[in-house]
Copies of this chain bind each other. A is one copy, B any other.
Amino acid sequence: MKIIGIIAEYNPFHNGHLYQIEKVKEIYPESIIIVAMSGNFLQRGEPAIVDKWVRAKQALLNGVDVVVEIPIAGCVQPADRFAENGVRILNNMGCEELFFGAEHAEYDFMTYAQLVQNLDSTEFSKKNISYAEAFQEAVAAKIGHNIDSPNDVLGLAYAKANLKFGKKLKLNPISRNVAGYHDKFLSPDSNIASATAIRKVLFSKDHNLVDKYLPSYQDLKNEKYISWDDFWPFLRYKLISSDIDELANIYGMAEGIQYRMKKKALELKTEATFDEWLKAVKSKRFTYTRLTRLSVATLVGMKVNDVSLYNKFPYVHLLGFTKNGQKALNIMKKNSEIPLLAKISQQDKDDFYHVDYRAGKIYQSQNYKEQDLKRAPLIF
């Protein structure tokens, strides 16, 4: 029995994800697949199109054995932090190998990780370009070529995290060249499309067109699809109604960006959309994803201290498992240093879980489904 880890968002779960799982089963027919998945707000600072329970269910119906939620403080983070938090969870759950999609599955990610491990990140913030761009430049100088495709970047981040935690995982990049991560359109010749393209169609009147690209569109069909448009009035209200020094406490605020975020929220016309606001706030020093992550932190009121606490005292929330997955959970219970929450108690929600609980309540305001309290793990 091999315990395989995957770090995923499943936004939504599509045939590309299914393909990855089938690949694992092909190589290890007896494996148990554990997925560390983002919750209702994703790594790049977007609300998930459907909630974590719907996404976990789709994964469990399609070959995944255990789905756990990466807490929001660990998830809505730059790729490196996200990867560290995911890898730390999978290590603790007893995973032996990590599978991930990559544009260049032939890359030797662990070797690259070793080459770049001593890059001094404090240097990056001095240049008049974004942190991400500066990091890209430095990595290319070390490795000899760019690593700039989104999944390759994540792959390198996983490798670095794995290195940091003592190389407990064997890395298995899977070629995902069928659909580009950011592809904007469905590809008629394939049944695999990017999550970006699928979401775009789900929000359009032609939403049924996605059927072909999803293993279980039936389950998704009756959901309300959630986007930043749903939360923008609340984010805007928060920016307007908060003092600057309250905003300054939000995790990720830097270089006085809170002034600009608030100013644009106040000044733009009432009808302005989230995207218009983002464009107005955008500057050379801040990438869009940094701003969308900041937007999530502001929306849910995630403070610097909340993230420090999570880093010191991590935990993980069990969303669901299969009978097969139960075996891995039994092993894990004996060895893990990270508490696995099967249910969120009244005490948890006021204690270490409070930002996740709050994020769930805010998500619930749009999809009308309780997210944490009284929800038991899905069992398949």
Which residues of A pack against B, CB within 8 Å? 233-234, 236-238, 240-243, 246, 266, 270-271, 299-301, 303, 358, 361-362, 364-365, 368
Contacts and interface: CB of A to CB of B under 8 A. Distances in A.
18 contacts: A233-B233, A233-B234, A233-B365, A234-B237, A234-B241, A237-B365, A238-B238, A240-B358, A240-B362, A241-B299, A241-B300, A241-B301, A241-B358, A241-B362, A243-B303, A266-B361, A270-B364, A270-B365
B361 A243 contact: no
A243 B300 CA distance: 10
Nearest to A364: B270
A373 to B, nearest CB: 9
Given A241-B299, A241-B300, 7 more contacts: A233-B365, A234-B234, A237-B237, A237-B362, A237-B365, A243-B303, A246-B246
Contacts of A242: 301
A25 B236 CA distance: 46
Nearest to A367: B270
Contacts of A365: 233, 236-237, 240, 270
B271 A368 contact: yes
Contacts of A238: 237-238, 241
Nearest to A370: B270
A310 to B, nearest CB: 16
A219 to B, nearest CB: 21
Contacts of A236: 365
A64 B192 CA distance: 70
Contact of A368 (B234, B270, B301, B358): B270
**The 6 A-B residue pairs with the shortest CB-CB distance in the complex, in nearest-first order:** A241-B301, A270-B368, A234-B237, A240-B361, A266-B361, A270-B364
A274 to B, nearest CB: 14
A270 B365 CA distance: 6
A237 B241 CA distance: 12
Contacts of A361: 240, 266
Contacts of A301: 241-243, 246
A330 to B, nearest CB: 34
Contacts of A271: 368
A358 B246 CA distance: 15
A181 to B, nearest CB: 31
A274 B243 CA distance: 25
Contacts of A270: 364-365, 368
A365 B233 CA distance: 8
A136 to B, nearest CB: 34
